[in-house]
Amino acid sequence: MAKGMVWLVGAGPGEPGLITVRGLEVLSRAEVVLHDALSHPALLQACPRAEIHDVGKRVGEAVPSQAAINAQVIEFARAGKRVVRLKGGDPFLFARGAEEALALARAGIPFEIVPGISSPVAASTYAGMSLTHRDLSSSVTFITGSDRAGKDWSPDAWRKLATATDTICVLMGMRGIEAITRAIVEGGRPESTPAAVVQWGARPEQRVVESTLGNVARDARAAGVTNPAVIVIGEIVKLRAELRWYDNRPLFGKRLLVPRPAEQASLTAAAIRERAAEPVVFPVIELHDPPDPEALRRAARELSNYDWVLLTSANGVERLFRTLREQGRDARAFGSAKIGVIGPKTASALEQHGVRADLIAEEFVGEGLARALLGRGKPGRVLLARALEARPDLPRALADAGAQIDVVAAYETRPVSAERAAALRSLLENGDLDAVLFTSSSTVSSTLSLLGPSGPDLLARVVVASIGPVTSATLKDRGILPQVTARTYTVEGLLEALESHSWV
């Protein structure tokens, strides 16, 4: 059997968007992935066909030894697999990547190292502290809070470090922060030296405690800060007052429920993380083939016979092109037919298949698409591919104008299993959410179906945000008044509206 290969990939500090392009490329082709506890779970979406193994080390839990992890990686590689060892931060900076690479080299297994952004660099950056600065710091020392055997460094070791470098970054040092800071003061660093502790750096959970070397241990304990954290000591901590950019964003740290189908949730989650908020992905509907899939197949075979093909969602785009692929055809099947869509997201989904929309409705609702199309004259023969259950306004308006319109279900939405209702209720009852993002009437109906009679009362505990007037009308019909309604009926527009919301 052919020998496999191993990639030691740095997952970065936590924010999944900080993984390197090379790291993401390698993940997408992996057959087996062994990941650490600190690698973000969203990264595993990049390797949906891979066999996943959690080998993370967690305090208080039985975990595989390093030797056992090495042996497991080698075993998979010898079986001819493409193996990714996904490690938090950078594989070669306090991540034991060198030990794993040596084990591979000695076993004769080919490997590649894919660097990642290290946690102290990311944590300080996301906290607004530049580790080097021409006037404040020309040297940096990275050090762990304990030695190879897990024992605390001696006070003498910290005293020697105290004045040997401008900036000191201590990783995983919260257990001994009192002894560490005391020894550094005894080594000659003034108690008044700026210091900070950054917990869960570069993530929406990020917490920063600013203090001085003499008081940072007391202040961090009072704030309840624990590992994973980085202790930063040096004059560069003062830069945070002006360079703070991440944790002062309007949505920083907010937990936003995304009740969208799994196929759509990843893009929404990424947009939320870009705003320093935390997406809580909880699909309340699932996408399925329509009851009569032959109708879509037939329409796909006849695309070139239509004057216009209308698509009202990215889901409709994907389902139509999947049907074309199953028939061994591609975008050329449209022939001379023009394509009209609702909104830029649907247009973007179309462009992923190499096709540009001839018409994009400025109003992101069915009526808007009808008005835009009728503004171009009599539309002729029209195909509308959309969800099985949808509002009748668009086809009605076109039929009234004399169009010959065929409405075909490209997919249908169904509620997820009722077993998940308890989990959703728990999130709302325990105050684990700040807002719920409703992006369609179907997400409203399915969410309330899961929550049952207590749904309106539970949603009253959070900010209810709606993507547009149609969804808001559905909420109001169910006795729920949305506090936020997007002016631009897209996910981006919804998040912008949330940013302007008063959270007091």
pLDDT in tens, the chain (504 residues): 467 999 999 999 888 999 999 999 999 999 999 998 888 888 988 888 899 999 886 555 667 888 999 999 999 999 999 999 999 999 999 889 999 999 999 999 999 999 999 999 999 999 999 999 999 999 999 999 875 555 667 888 899 999 999 999 999 899 999 999 999 999 999 999 999 999 999 999 999 999 999 999 999 999 999 989 999 999 999 999 999 999 999 999 999 999 987 767 888 999 999 999 999 999 887 788 998 899 999 999 999 999 999 998 888 999 999 999 999 999 999 999 999 998 888 888 899 899 999 988 876 677 788 888 888 888 889 999 988 888 788 888 888 888 889 999 999 888 777 778 888 999 999 999 999 999 988 889 889 988 989 999 999 999 999 999 989 999 999 999 999 999 988 899 999 999 999 886
pLDDT of residue 148: 56
Contact 109, 4 (CB under 8 A): yes
CB distance 369 to 340 below 8 Å: yes
How high is the pLDDT of residue 157?
86
Q: Does 307 participate in catalysis according to the annotation? A: no
Catalytic residue (choose from 5, 172, 358, 393) = 172
Rounded to two decimals, the pTM is: 0.78
Domain 121-243: CATH architecture, name and number where available: 2-Layer Sandwich (3.30)
Residues 344 and 493: their CA atoms lie apart, in Å, by 11
> For the chain, what is the radius of gyration of the CA atoms?
27
* Environment class of 392 (CB within 10 Å of its CB; exposed 0-12, middle 13-18, buried 19+): exposed
Pick the catalytic residue: 36, 90, 166, 434?
A: 36
Tokens 């996943």 — which residue? 52
Domain boundary assignment for the chain = 5-117, 121-243, 255-284+418-500, 288-415
288-415: CATH topology is Rossmann fold (3.40.50)
Any alpha helices (H) in 142-274, and if so which ranges? Answer: 155-162, 177-186, 216-222, 240-243, 262-273
CATH superfamily of 5-117: Tetrapyrrole methylase, N-terminal domain (3.40.1010.10)
Rounded to an integer, what distance in angstroms lies between the CA atom of residue 403 and that of residue 397? 9
CATH fold match for the domains 121-243 and 288-415: no
pLDDT score recorded for residue 145 = 85
Q: What confidence tens digit (pLDDT) does each residue in 326-366 have?
A: 999 999 999 999 999 988 888 888 998 999 999 888 766 77
Indicate if 36 belongs to the active site.
yes
Which of 57, 152, 289, 358 is catalytic? The answer is 57
pLDDT of the residue at 360 = 87
Question: Sheet harboring 32-35: ordered strands across?
Answer: 51-54, 32-35, 82-87, 5-10, 111-114
Tokens describing residue 16? 């999944």
Q: What is the pLDDT, as a whole number, of residue 152?
A: 67
Assigned CATH for 255-284+418-500: 3.40.50.10090
Token look-up 């990941």 returns 35
